[in-house]
Amino acid sequence: MIGRLNHVAIAVPDLAAASALYRGALGADVSEPQELPEHGVTVVFITLPNTKIELLEPLGEASPIAAFLAKNSAGGMHHICYEVDDLIVARDQLLASGLRVLGGDAPKIGAHGKPVLFLHPKDFNGVLVELEQK
Ligand code: CO
């Protein structure tokens, strides 16, 4: 079921500073910031040869990463995203295995314009897992 690693997402308290760090110290290819109000984040995409890194900064009052940053003030790894061939088939298999999908079982459109689902971190060794339709 599981396919390529699509991205690793890192929550950051200061997106401009984090972008400058990756661009400067690491020489990374860092996109312009993109506001995603429906997800409560501003994101930059860092393109690596084999995957992507996303830096996430809270946007708005009800940002889903605000609580995470309250606990991790310097920022931290927030989730990893795997690609799957068929998100609905993957979801149904996971639910049948007793694993939990967050926020209802219907896919939402993610930061890349493709359907995504999030899986409960307590079911995956403390890591929030995002699945993205390939
Ligand atoms: Co993601």
Which CATH number does the domain housing residue 81 bear?
A: 3.10.180.10
Ligand 1: distance of its center to the CA of 59 in Å? 15
DSSP 8-class letter at 32: P
Residue 95 belongs to domain spanning: 2-133
Instruction: Give the Cα separation of 50 and 76 in Å (integer).
Output: 21
Number of domains, the chain: 1
Contact status, residue 26 vs residue 109, Cβ threshold 8 Å: no
Ligand 1: distance of its center to the CA of 24 in Å? 23
Ligand 1: distance of its center to the CA of 96 in Å? 24
The DSSP element (H or E) to which 92 belongs, if any, is: helix 87-96
Contact status, residue 129 vs residue 109, Cβ threshold 8 Å: no
Residue 10: strand, helix, or coil:
strand
> Per-residue confidence of the chain (134 residues) as pLDDT tens digits?
999 999 999 999 999 999 999 999 999 999 999 999 988 999 999 999 999 999 999 999 889 899 999 999 999 999 999 999 999 999 999 999 999 999 888 999 888 889 999 999 999 999 999 999 99
Q: Which among 54, 83, 130, 132 is annotated as catalytic? A: 130
pLDDT at residue 110, rounded to an integer: 86
pLDDT at residue 125, rounded to an integer: 97
Active site residue 38: no
Residue 134: strand, helix, or coil:
coil
